A and B are shown apart, each in its own frame.
Chain A
């Protein structure tokens, strides 16, 4: 009896380590996969929030990932590692997980919550927030700004 249980435990351990191939979820509105591990490296593909990426390699704060057949680099702060999933081992669990995720998707502090909050608080200046958030400086301008100011175009924090 005991040895059976030990065997089950051992099996689980092995399965867990196999299933540990890291995948990452995009946690920014949009992430950009690039040709090289630099912020201004040429763009390969834009990936929307929530998509899953498979890790190929990691160097410092940069990950080489694949997404729908494309491969390239992105900075670690744009993604979150998904904890290992044993879903493949248990079809039943996989289905349940999906149901659970669907049920919880869009819960929390979401655009719907923001809308209800806005309706309730007319004095909130979301019009100005939108204006402030639209001030994105384009990449070529940022590069120029860094170059002229003799600053360092880095690959991020070491």
Chain B
């Protein structure tokens, strides 16, 4: 009789889980179950623990965690490249980028969007999780006007918005973080658990840095970032042709054997991406607006770049 009650209780719990789909319901279920004597206290505790663990195992990274991860990724990249310090240019870059980000699908991140220049001839743009976006001097010099610069930034904002950097973290590693945090041991702040957490953090940082600097994002992630960029440029009043125009230039350099720099490893298939972008623009019948004033301030900000 007791066993059948127990089964009945378990069935009821499963139903609760199905209906509410969260640990709260299981707990309520177990409370009722235990209260009416249908399940034992130990069983109740075990089921509660299990429900909490299951819930945690699937939790995504929080915006705050993304921020601290992104800071470490940026700190690592800035340990490998020099920062190009030209105040006026950096301010201009941030004006373009921060106003553009407001019109994006994700206007707010934990710490906000920030833009900086790496002192390198390579042609690359790197988006750290949380919104720190780094452009090489080589990349910046290839942009001919504010529309093209905005296109590069909009593409990188797209990666941040789509959380592409976070997808670079090995799933097993993140599962370990979640399991560690959910464990009884981690609740008492112990040195060993902290050390384990730091090493998981370190591994996650390496996963992201490796994707940004070596492996590159997938073709699909690039394509999605292009699409968000086009929509963002159009919405904000920029000529979206800045994107395919810039991709065309990159494609020419690529086939000309111009470089082995990051942009070419992290952004493959320029020709394909260019025609994809042109067909999106044509399909939407997007037209460009006035850029005289934008051209002027672009020239002024970039005139002294090496």
Chain A interfacial positions (CB closer than 8 Å to B)? 5, 8-9, 12-13, 16, 27-29, 31, 39, 49, 75, 77-78, 80, 83-86, 89-90, 92-93, 96, 100, 103-104, 107-114, 116-118, 120-121, 123-126, 128-129, 131-133, 135-137, 141-142, 145-146, 148-152, 154, 156-158
Contacts and interface: CB of A to CB of B under 8 A. Distances in A.
Interface string B186-227: 110000001101100110110000000000000000000000
Interface residues of B, number: 75
B15 A133 contact: no
B304 interface: no
Contacts, number: 192
A125 B12 CA distance: 55
Contacts of B102: 39, 142, 154, 156
B27 interface: yes
Contacts of B235: 152, 154, 157-158
> Which of A124, A146, A158 has the most CB atoms of chain B within a 10 A radius of its CB?
A124
Contact of A151 (B12, B16, B187, B238): B238
21 contacts: A5-B12, A27-B63, A49-B64, A75-B108, A78-B108, A83-B24, A93-B31, A100-B52, A107-B186, A108-B65, A109-B204, A113-B194, A114-B72, A114-B201, A129-B71, A129-B74, A132-B78, A135-B116, A145-B95, A151-B238, A154-B102
A77 B101 CA distance: 12
> Which of A114, A135, A158 has the most CB atoms of chain B within a 10 A radius of its CB?
A135
